[in-house]
Chain A
Amino acid sequence: MNDERLRALYQQAIERRRPAERTACLPPERLLALAEGRLRGSEAQEAADHAMSCASCREEYALLRAIARVQERSSAWSARRLALAASIVLALGAIVILRTTRQRDAATFRGSADEVRLLAPEPGVAPLTLAWRSVADASRYEVELMDSAGMPLHQATTRDTVLVVPETVRLAPGAEHRWWVRAVLANGREVRSTVATFRSR
């Protein structure tokens, strides 16, 4: 006997057993609890045992179950949409953080395009070496070293971000000196550093 035949025979049997009175039937609220999956263990077994052997209760269960299923699917869809929205927000957040981090890292490594960041000279190292962060799209850097009064001691242009000051440039011992860098970008725009100071030995 195949499954469909067995089902048809069973449904015919419970139809013939359809009760004239509903006194022994499950209350509608109990059917609803079963339809919503709120019963467990022996409660669910007892409720289903009756509901599925009584044609009237089975029909009522079908109605309540169909309504409950619509709600379940709607909730599941809402949950999926919520999860999707959360995933999108997380992904966008991750992208923003990643990009910000990368930009910051790049700015730290290359320097930003808005300014030239100078690095403090290593004290006591000879020859004097001036260094700065690279600037995006910089085609060259112009460096100026001055004494404490602002008089130029040395000027140079380089494509590098390091300048070794020739030993011929005499720095007053123990005096404060100033220097700054101007980056000339490929588009002709100029970006300047602030004026930094250091004390010579």
Chain B
Amino acid sequence: MADHADPVSSSLEALLTRFGERVRQAGRRYGLRGADVDEVVQDVRIRLWRALASGEAIARAPGSYVYRTATSAALDLLRRRRGRHETGFDPGTDLPEPALQAPATAERALADTEIAARVAVAVDSLVESRRAVVRMWLAGFDLREIMHAFGHTEPKARNLLYRGLADLRARLTAMGIGPEALP
């Protein structure tokens, strides 16, 4: 790697530091792994280095250009992983939710696993229009993200989500998983 005093390196590092931090910040809400961002940023670094040979060109690079480069790098990363049958999931560092990661007892862990499986089955049985919205919400995305993904207005997204969650709770209750079943 070139010396950071080099204007090309300085401009590139400044750009990538800013961009990487923004992606990490945006990804935190989605439970994004920092390692994925690092890998993409490293790839973007190489691509920008090759494409924009001067510090001035890097400093002038529009946000849309950096975005296209990052998107392309991310897609390539996903393709490479799929090609190598990698999941990107590391059991050593990618731990589940704290409440589920350290259950008080083995019985509780087993109960959680069974209930989680039933929750998944109950979600599978929801009507199609509500199911995708409920899945997205359960997967950790908020109402704004749901609106963006489906192009729904807020009232429509809210309506689908609330009705879907109400259906889900009704199904869980019918399966014997009510509020009293899970403290």
Contacts and interface: CB of A to CB of B under 8 A. Distances in A.
Majority SS at the chain A contact face? helix
Residue among B36, B77, B139 with the highest chain A CB neighbour number at 10 A: B139
B71 interface: yes
Contacts of B139: 7, 10-11, 14, 52, 58
B75 interface: yes
Residue among B87, B116, B129, B177 with the highest chain A CB neighbour number at 10 A: B116
B177 A45 contact: no
Nearest to B32: A62
Given A13-B120, A28-B78, A63-B40, A52 B135 contact: yes
B67 A9 contact: no
Give the interface size class of chain A.
Answer: 35 or more
A70 B139 CA distance: 20
Contacts of B75: 28-29, 32, 64
Contacts of A125: none
B176 interface: no
Interface string A20-56: 1110010011011011010110001110110011011
A18 interface: yes
A66 interface: yes
Contact of A49 (B37, B116, B132, B145): B132
A53 B122 CA distance: 12
A15 interface: yes
B30 A13 contact: no
B106 interface: no
Interface in B132-153: 132-133, 135-141, 145, 148-151
Majority SS at the chain B contact face? helix
Nearest to A52: B135
B177 A1 contact: yes
Contacts of A46: 132
Given A9-B112, A13-B120, A67-B67, A59 B88 contact: yes
B23 A70 contact: yes
A170 interface: no
19 contacts: A6-B168, A7-B138, A9-B112, A11-B96, A12-B97, A17-B120, A22-B82, A32-B74, A32-B75, A40-B150, A45-B129, A48-B133, A52-B141, A55-B89, A60-B88, A61-B30, A66-B32, A67-B67, A73-B26
Interface of B: 19, 22-24, 26-27, 30-33, 36-37, 40, 63-64, 67, 70-71, 74-75, 77-79, 82, 85, 87-89, 96-97, 99-100, 112-113, 115-117, 119-120, 123-124, 128-129, 131-133, 135-141, 145, 148-151, 165, 168-169, 172, 177-179, 181-182
Interface of A: 1, 3, 5-18, 20-22, 25, 28-29, 31-32, 34-35, 37, 39-40, 44-46, 48-49, 52-53, 55-56, 58-71, 73-75, 78
